Structure 1
Amino acid sequence: MAVLVTRPYPDDETTAEALRARGFGVLRAPMLRFEPLPFEDDTDAVYGAVIVTSANALRAIAPQLAGHRLLKLPLFAVGENTAAAARDAGFGKVTASKGDAGALRDLVLAHAKSKRLKKSNPILYLAGADLARDLAGELGAGGLTVVTQTTYRMVPAPSLPREVCDAFVAHEVEAVLHYSRRSARAFLDAARAGGVEISALALPQCCISAAVAAVLRDAGATQVTAAATPDENALFQALARALQKPAG
């Protein structure tokens, strides 16, 4: 029996290793493909800080960051995983929010209110092409100016790997892990296209957040578990609850 990981490459490899260390068998079916976009740097712009909601935004521009002026700016990131990616990219002043983009918004606004972050210079938001919320607008409502630079996009996979479809048919999958609403929708479309939607939705669906869980419930899944907090450790705990196994 195996847990199906739908997280995009290369993060799916990290997740697979963590699951195997906990004694799980693993199948991988990345439902979104990372695609970097050209980074159009405005050399005349003077930014006060950088905000990032995904490590992918940094991965996309990593080849251009060596010695870049942006590395001297404070960077605000969603979660420790994205913060670690920022440090690896060369940013020296990195602050991570605990939670989702809403927590990041509150963190940035708190820094502005306490004058640790100046409102006079715009903030550079390194973002993906498909945004789950209008973070720039929310910060704008708080009196900050945000310049959004789209550095990458995630392209949905049209189908599941053949071995994954075969595993669904043979009842060799014990649960599915979901990391975003877009990847969950892509999984549903791919399962439908592969003729395994009924088998797939009959299994425990473990989701990184309640918003992701709603996508699966709306599609007809009945065994849906959401992580208590939007991070992988909490997702693994949700998996353990769903399968009634120790979290490890």
Structure 2
Amino acid sequence: MAVLVTRPSPDDDTTASALRARGFEVLCAPMLRFEAIPFQDDAEANYGAVLVTSANALRAAAPQLGNSRLLRLPLFAVGEHTAAAARDAGFSEVIVSKGDAGALRELVLAAAKSKQLKKANPLLYLAGADLARDLASELGDKGFTVATRTTYRMVPAPSLPREICDAFVADRIEAVLHYSRRSARAFLEAARAGGVEISALALPQCCISAAVAAVLREAGASQVTAAESADENALFEALQRALQRRIRTNL
């Protein structure tokens, strides 16, 4: 029995390795495909800091950063995964928030209150084409000017690989991991297109957050578990809880 990882590449490989180290068999079916979008730094903008809510934004921007002046700015990142990508890209001052973009907003506000940031200097937000929340507007309401630069897009996969559909039919999958609302929606569409929606939704769906879990519940999934915090270790704990519940139910 395998756990299906729907996370985009290359992060799905990291997740698969972590699961295998915990004794799980793993199948991967990335539901979103990463595409970089070129961006140009506005040389006349006197930015005070860089904001990033996804490691993908940094992967996309890294080839264009080089010896950019942006690398000398403080960078506010959501989570250690994104922070590591920032350091790999060359940023030396990385401030990390735990949680989601809302936690990042609060961290930025706290930095302004403590005079680490000046509201007079605009913030540069490196972002994806599809945003779960409008961080720029939320900070704008607090007196900041935020310049959003789109550095990547995530394109939904139109279908599940044949071997994944066959695994659903053969009852070889015991749970599915979901990392975002968009990838969860893409999974549902792909499962429907592959004729395995009923089989897929009958399994435990383990989600990185309550917002992602809501997508699966709305689609009719009955065994949905959300991580207690938006990080992978918490998601793995949610997976263990879901599988234990399933074992008890089947006894």
Q: How far does residue 233 in structure 1 lie from its aligned partner after superposition?
A: 0.2
Q: How far does residue 122 in structure 1 lie from its aligned partner after superposition?
A: 0.2
Pairs aligned (count): 245
Q: Aligned partners of 1:89, 1:240: CA distance in 2, in Å?
A: 34
Q: How far does residue 116 in structure 1 lie from its aligned partner after superposition?
A: 0.7
**Alignment match, 2:238:** 238
What SS class does the counterpart of residue 165 from structure 1 fall into?
A: helix
The root-mean-square deviation of aligned C-alpha atoms, in Å, is 0.8
Q: Aligned partners of 1:40, 1:64: CA distance in 2, in Å?
A: 8
Q: Percent identity?
A: 81
**Alignment match, 1:137:** 137
TM (normalized to structure 2)? Answer: 0.97
Q: Which amino acid aligns with 2:146?
A: V
**Alignment match, 1:228:** 228
Q: How far does residue 127 in structure 1 lie from its aligned partner after superposition?
A: 0.2
Per-residue deviation, residues 125-161 of structure 1 (Å, max 9, x unmatched) = 0000000001000001111110000000000000001
Q: Which amino acid aligns with 1:85?
A: A
**Alignment match, 1:93:** 93
- Range with greater deviation from structure 2 (236-245 or 189-198): 236-245
Q: How far does residue 92 in structure 1 lie from its aligned partner after superposition?
A: 0.6
Q: Aligned partners of 1:104, 1:44: CA distance in 2, in Å?
A: 26
Q: Which amino acid aligns with 1:188?
A: L
**Alignment match, 1:37:** 37
Q: Aligned partners of 2:82, 2:31: CA distance in 1, in Å?
A: 20
Q: Aligned partners of 1:101, 1:61: CA distance in 2, in Å?
A: 19
**Matches of residues 1-248 of structure 1 in structure 2 within 5 Å?**
1-244=1-244
Q: Aligned partners of 1:110, 1:30: CA distance in 2, in Å?
A: 36
Per-residue deviation, residues 51-97 of structure 1 (Å, max 9, x unmatched) = 00000000001111121100000000001110111011110100000
What SS class does the counterpart of residue 238 from structure 1 fall into?
A: helix
What SS class does the counterpart of residue 91 from structure 2 fall into?
A: coil
What are structure 2's unaligned runs of at least 5 residues? Answer: 246-251
Q: How far does residue 169 in structure 1 lie from its aligned partner after superposition?
A: 0.2
What SS class does the counterpart of residue 86 from structure 2 fall into?
A: helix
Q: Aligned partners of 1:156, 1:101: CA distance in 2, in Å?
A: 22
Q: How far does residue 224 in structure 1 lie from its aligned partner after superposition?
A: 0.2
